[in-house]
Amino acid sequence: MLFKQLFDHETWTYTYLIADPVSKDAILIDPVNTHIDKYIELLKAHDLQLKYSLETHVHADHITASGLLRQRLGAQTGVSGLCGAESADIQIQDGDVFKFAGDEQLKVIATPGHTRGSISFLWRDRLFTGDSLLIGGCGRTDFQGGDAGAQYDCITQRLFTLPDETLVYPGHDYQQHWVSSIMQERTINPRLAGKTREQFIEIMNNLNLPKPRLIDEAVPANRYCGLDENERQDAVTLRDETLPLRATTKTEDLVAAAKQRITEINVAKSKQLLAQGNIVLIDTREESEYAAGHIDGALLLPRGMLEFKVGNMPELADKAKTILIYCRLGNRSALAAQTLQQLGYTNVLSMAGGFEAWKSNA
Ligand SMILES: N[C@@H](CCC(=O)N[C@@H](CS)C(=O)NCC(=O)O)C(=O)O
Ligand SMILES: [Fe+2]
């Protein structure tokens, strides 16, 4: 097998290539967008076929190359279903197994804490921990649904229980370490070795780190596999259906599940409520779609920005206020409505059929 650890000097990020020179199957973990040409060259040099481009989480400090790798090489993109990145081909879940190169398996271990959707991958005796467990440290837990208690639990219960000799390959290293082992981290990681859950939480709550430089750009972009607005396809409706999907949760399933949990109203009812007033109207499409035409008075809040922007919008300060969300066809708005409900909004409606239905009802 072929195994390479690649490094991005700008953001201290590690990317991993696992490949089989015989079957030609290749997997990339956490690729960085600025290195796309290098990856393609590397794959070409070994005559490899990129099967999967996978993320350990939605990164806050750099932009992934996954979307570009899908566009240019037809790779399937995968990210945890808990990350709110519906445009990924595969919504990864705990326990999923990616099969490649005949009998090779890459197993998914949910390791929430750095972000809600953080996962680790285990291949043979190698563990790719993303930012959950770092060498002599661990990922911060102060944004993107971070949770220090959850981080302690999954590291101590799920990672430290792997065999001692398991190699630990992190998502970053800021001190030029390359690889560690489970025994090394269990016994000498200063944040974890001999620390109680309470002590760990205390440490994590007092790191006082500055925000990652690229966070406001990277998180929304990574929800769309790193593609910018011009490169993005409509996350829900225009996905490349020609790609074979694994039997994990698909975007369509997520939309269907969201629609079970939220309230949809049709255009006529929407118009009636808007005429009555005292309602916040949100357009959850991309900026360019909004610019090309939108409903009067709608606030722009793209789906990928939702969790980030929501707390800063005075119009959304009152969680009991009626909120009506629309997108192009009513799929993204269903997911956005579900997210707002999860954030504590109690009166959220999604417009069935979206702006297209609105226009044909004019
Ligand atoms: N200075 C870096 C900050 C990077 C950062 O915050 N990294 C996250 C991972 S995305 C982390 O958990 N760092 C742990 C630490 O710095 O101890 C930047 O601006 O990008
Ligand atoms: Fe991270």
Secondary structure element (H or E) that encloses residue 216, with its range: helix 215-223
247 lines ligand 1 (CB under 6 A): no
Whether 4 contacts 13, CB under 8 Å:
no
Asked whether residue 137 carries a pLDDT value surpassing 90, the answer given is yes
Reported as a pLDDT band with limits 50, 70 and 90, residue 148 is: very high
Q: How far apart are CA 80 and CA 29, in angstroms?
A: 13
The residue to mutate among 15, 83, 114, 172, having the most atoms of ligand 1 within 8 angstroms of its beta carbon, is: 172
- For residue 224, what are its two tokens? 């769309």
Are β-strands 90-92 and 119-123 bridged in parallel, bridged antiparallel, or unpaired? unpaired
In this predicted model, what pLDDT tens digit does every residue of 215-224 receive, in sequence order? 989 998 998 9
86 lines ligand 1 (CB under 6 A): no
Kindly list the structural domains of the chain, giving each domain's residue range(s) and its CATH number in brackets, ordered by start.
2-223 (3.60.15.10), 251-360 (3.40.250.10)
131 lines ligand 1 (CB under 6 A): yes
Q: Which of 131-140, 257-266, 303-312 ranks highest by mean pLDDT?
A: 131-140
Query: What are the phi and psi torsion angles at 317 (to 5°)?
Result: -70, -35
Reported as a pLDDT band with limits 50, 70 and 90, residue 243 is: very low
Q: How far apart are CA 149 and CA 198, in angstroms?
A: 8
Cα distances (Å, whole numbers) of residue 11 to 4, 14, 30, 135, 251: 18, 9, 12, 16, 30
In this predicted model, what pLDDT tens digit does every residue of 301-339 receive, in sequence order? 988 788 778 888 999 999 999 999 999 999 999 999 998
Q: How many CB atoms lie within 10 A of CB 310?
A: 18
Asked whether residue 240 carries a pLDDT value surpassing 80, the answer given is no
Q: How many residues are given for the chain?
A: 362
Considering only CA atoms, which of 199, 352, 156, 336 is closest in space to residue 271? 352
Residue located via tokens 């269907």 = 256
* 72 Cα to the center of ligand 1, angstroms: 29
What share of the chain in percent tops pLDDT 70? 94
In this predicted model, what pLDDT tens digit does every residue of 333-352 receive, in sequence order? 999 999 898 888 999 999 99
Query: What are the phi and psi torsion angles at 57 (to 5°)?
Result: -175, 175
* Residue 234 or residue 89, greater confidence: 89
Considering only CA atoms, which of 38, 29, 23, 36 is closest in space to residue 72? 36
